[in-house]
Amino acid sequence: AQTVTQSQPEMSVQEAETVTLSCTYDTSESDYYLFWYKQPPSRQMILVIRQEAYKQQNATENRFSVNFQKAAKSFSLKISDSQLGDAAMYFCAYRPTFDYGGSQGNLIFGKGTKLSVKP
């Protein structure tokens, strides 16, 4: 069974600084997708960035970028120039490319990392 692990329950960063959130996963599949979701206190889950496993190039979305290490099964999120609005729970998630049915066919989330941004 696939699993996703986020080893940092809480992180803190100074406004305008850079922070990296860690995520590791376990799978025997070679083709899959990885995601970082943000859940602010309002509770609306928002997709931050996604990475296709077959792409070697790391995904980037404005101030957000990932470091995808497929062999190491690592998928970290870097937030540059942190802003107060970045404060939220961040969830790393895995999803297989193909739907095989059963209980593993959907998003598998890590436990999350709570990010605080200090002014």
| Interface with another protein, residue 84, by CB under 8 A | no
53: nearest Cα among 22, 95, 20: 95
* Residues in the chain, total: 119
CB 14, min distance to another protein, A: 27
Instruction: Tell which positions 27-66 bind another protein, by CB under 8 A.
Output: 31-33, 37, 42-47, 50, 52
**Residues 52, 57, 63, 66, Cα dihedral to 10°:** 60
C-alpha 111: how far from its chain's center? 11
98-117: which residues touch another protein (CB under 8 A)? 98-99, 101-112
State the minimum distance, in angstroms, from the CB of residue 109 to another protein: 4
User: Using an 8 Å Cβ cutoff, are 1 and 64 in contact?
Assistant: no
Binding site for another protein (CB under 8 A): 31-33, 37, 42-47, 50, 52, 91, 95-99, 101-112
